[in-house]
Amino acid sequence: MEDMHFDLLVIGFGKGGKTLAASLGRLGKRVAMIEQSAAMYGGTCINIGCVPTKALVHHAENPGLGTPAERHRTAVDATRALTTKLRDANFANLDTIDSVTVITGRAEFLDPKTVRVTAGDDVLDLAADTIVINTGATPTIAPIPGLADSDHLLTSTDLIDLDHLPKRLAILGGGYVGVEFASIYAQFGSAVTVLDSARRAMPREDDDIAEAATDILRGAGVEFVFGAHVTQVRDIDNGVEITYEAGGTTHTLAADEVLAATRRRPATEGLGLDRAGVRTTASGAVEVDEFLRTSQQHIFAIGDVNGGPQFTYISLDDYRVVADQLLGTGVRSTKDRKFVPYTVFMTPALSRVGLTEREAVDRGLPVKVVEKPVADIAGMPRAKIVGETRGLMKFVVDRETDRVLGAALLSVDSQELINTLTLALRHDVTASELRDAVYTHPSSTEAFNEVLSTPPVRTA
């Protein structure tokens, strides 16, 4: 590498960055992709995020033969094989482009235009006209005495690659990550206990949806302790002891492993952003405008590192925004995003888009709520065919305009159904149109016919 100057330099092999690198590389632009670990080629999603966790969901929902420990080990081995295959494919996707160079090492800015890459004793100084920060986010560990030093502490990254099945798994945090792993490992056969300081799980959801989801998880064997303030974690023989206060009383919980399932923080440590003149927010995210430009006009930040929603599909849309700046009209922005859906892959999955009932009421909108338990939806035989009738479908509708303001689907296939609803919300399709549409049979989508025909359970 005699010429160390590039048209584009991307720090981090995540979804948005790798897509941008490939797009510009195929146009003949000289591109450098820097990734600090060969184990992370392809980014968080395929290596330690969406793909391995959802692979484990699949295996947990479809248990094979053998003991719980054997079934878990089979699932872990299959998941490793899948992520290895995808990681190799992602590397090849860039490495086979003549004008793209993949460099493995730790990156840090020397100045706004220069990035130093270090790998052991090897050092490269690279310059680029455009630089994209795509370093993602990392798990945080709560400052609980003894937690960080415990030999039995796991992050989500650790847990998906754990060779053995914990007989007793304690999860600190009842948010989406905690709920998803609780569902997975309870189905594998672990005795799962979730400790959370809040009054209920998933505080962003309406009470009825969170309660329905919690009831399903309790039915699967998950124990929840709400209002629990963990005060100490200490290792004991063959496990860990967690001390917490709840209801004015001190309690202890013994477990084999403890999962820290709290929030993730943008991965900016060691990047030397101050030397680049790149500002960060109070939360540590890289500060960007609606076009994802940082305080330096030639430096962009995409994906989890910029403080936006931490979803792979948001990173991909970040790519579209930056690509439009570099190759297109320059008008696309993050303000164009409307109604971003999400799914929590418990079993069955919980998917939501738009406003919750609580948010709609707080905004003073004229609201009606229609909802129905999945088990009671006669026009949705697919749920009975696949043997998954647990859950609840809920729609929040504007009484005056008939527009769907939001929906929460706790049901089989909800991760697919929510995309149809998202498109409907983006294009102002009314609840009546969704109610009267013709859907294939037997499908989960045809539940819309029945649920949206029911009288409202509440109005506001």
Catalytic residue numbers read 441
With 0-12 CB in 10 A as exposed, 13-18 as middle and 19+ as buried, what is 212? buried
Of residues 398, 342, 347, the one with CA closest to residue 374: 347
Q: Residue count of the chain, please give it.
A: 460
Rounded CA-CA distance 248/316 in Å is: 47
Task: Provide the b/e sequence for 306-321 (b: ≥16 CB within 10 Å).
Answer: bbbebbbebbbbbbbb
**Which amino acid is it at 299?**
I
- Inter-axis angle of helices 50-61 and 68-95, to 10 degrees? 150
226 DSSP β-pair partners:
196
- Strands (E) located in 36-167: 100-104, 106-111, 114-119, 122-133, 137-139, 153-154
CA angle 78, 43, 154 (to 5 degrees): 65
Q: Give first-to-last CA distance, the chain, whole Å.
A: 66
Which positions ≥6 away from 48 have C-beta within 8 Å? 40, 156, 157, 160, 161
Matching residue, tokens 């002891």: 241
**Rounded CA gap, 232 and 239, in Å?**
14
- Residue 318's nearest CA partner among 297, 278, 340, 291 is 291
